Amino acid sequence: MKMKAVISALAFNVPPDVYDNHWFEQRIETTDEWIKTRTGITERHFAFEGAMTDIALPAAQKVLAQRGITAEDIDCIIIATVTPDRVFPSSSAILQRKLGAKNAWGFDLSAACSGFVFALVTASKLVESGAVRNVLLVGADKMSSILNFEDRATCVLFGDGGGCVLLEPGTDDDHGVMDFILKMDGNGEPNLYQKAGGSLHPPTLETVTNKEHYVFQEGQPVFKAAVKGMADVSYEIMVRNNLTADDIAWLVPHQANLRIIDATANRMGLSKDKVMINIQKFGNTTAGTIPICLSELYEQGKLKRGDYVVIASFGAGYTWGAILYKWWLEPTA
């Protein structure tokens, strides 16, 4: 029988320091009320020192401990992120060193807020092909390193954090990634991007002076594209697998805006109690949102073997997608 890859351990980590909306009120022209009603965010975590892999490392270590394996047992490390420690080498190489996972190869995957979704499909296929036995898959971002804290249109939206899952062959072909829809539209670039820092505009005194190394976003067009994109693929993956809202245990959506999440849930006909939401605590942690959501749900004992979970995202690129994931790991409690 052909085995599917399954998540066999998972954990998340956010930096300890919490910044609530009032913190921003003291620095820029904004209000707690505006941020809460337009986004759903109350607070987020930032680490103004250290690197993205410093956020990922404790999550990865928890995953190893949870599964009862050592770093040397890891075959491959994939990190979905837009805030790698450096342009090169890859953050997966840096995490490999920090963990002591000396038998692992790996790479970084850049798909912004859809990074974890794209990487979960990629990693599952690697395991299912037999090319590797297990993959440590991280979705993490240190958004504070690319935020302009004078730009109220973006700085209030994001947070630092990430999660990690271990993927390995399951016990059957009836759990794991059952179906996926992944999409990309490069026409979205001008609405959500980092203007300088890459090969097109390498860092210069001018790019730094012009604050071009930060997140730039035209909120409204991204909002419209996200509402349509995330709702379309989430609905389609449910329907084309002959499932209804009753069959879905959880929608685990990217946490960019509560209104986008609500639109997706409404389109699927899902009641609110089946939608994982933690944007109020963490903001948008980009590639971190989904593994953080999954880890919180699992810690709370809310994921049971056989549960259908729809995982959905939308982000820069544009990139978006949905995964129908049938949960395998038994609850801890």
> Which CB, 79 or 226, lies closer to ligand UT7?
226
Minimum separation from the CB atom of position 225 to ligand UT7 (A): 8
> Which CB, 56 or 256, lies closer to ligand UT7?
256
What is the size of the binding site for ligand UT7 (CB under 6 A)? 21
DSSP H helices in 192-329: 205-209, 219-239, 258-268, 279-282, 289-299
- Give how far Cα 326 sits from Cα of 24, 243, 295, Å: 40, 12, 15
257 given a catalytic annotation: no
Q: What is the distance between the terminal CA atoms of the chain, rounded to a whole angstrom?
A: 30
Q: Which residue out of 13, 45, 76, 113 is catalytically annotated?
A: 113
> Which CB, 153 or 277, lies closer to ligand UT7?
153
164 given a catalytic annotation: no
Sign of torsion over alpha carbons 86, 92, 96, 102? negative
- 26 binding ligand UT7? (CB under 6 A): no
- Which neighbouring-strand residues pair with 311? 252, 323
Residue selected from 9, 94, 113, 165 as contacting ligand UT7 according to rule CB under 6 A: 113
Site string for ligand UT7, 297-326 (x = CB under 6 A): -----------------xx-----------
**Interacting residues with ligand UT7 between 127 and 166 (CB under 6 A):** 152-153, 156-157
Q: Which residue out of 21, 254, 257, 293 is catalytically annotated?
A: 254
- 284 binding ligand UT7? (CB under 6 A): yes
* 217, 153 Cβ separation under 8 angstroms: yes
* 7, 329 Cβ separation under 8 angstroms: yes
Residue selected from 226, 251, 276, 297 as contacting ligand UT7 according to rule CB under 6 A: 226
- 274 binding ligand UT7? (CB under 6 A): no
159: helix, coil or strand?
Answer: coil
Please name the residue that has the structure tokens 């820029």: 28
d(CA 146, CA 47): 12
Minimum separation from the CB atom of position 30 to ligand UT7 (A): 3
Host H or E run for residue 298: helix 289-299
d(CA 282, CA 279): 5
Site string for ligand UT7, 37-56 (x = CB under 6 A): -xx-----------------
At 201, phi and psi to the nearest 5? -130, 80
202: burial class by Cβ within 10 Å (0-12, 13-18, 19+)? exposed
Minimum separation from the CB atom of position 217 to ligand UT7 (A): 6
For residue 15, the Cα-to-chain-centroid distance in whole angstroms is 16
**Interacting residues with ligand UT7 between 166 and 225 (CB under 6 A):** 219-220, 222-223
State the catalytic residues: 113, 254, 284
Residue ranges that bind ligand UT7, judged by CB under 6 A = 30, 34-35, 38-39, 113, 152-153, 156-157, 219-220, 222-223, 226, 256-257, 260, 284, 314-315
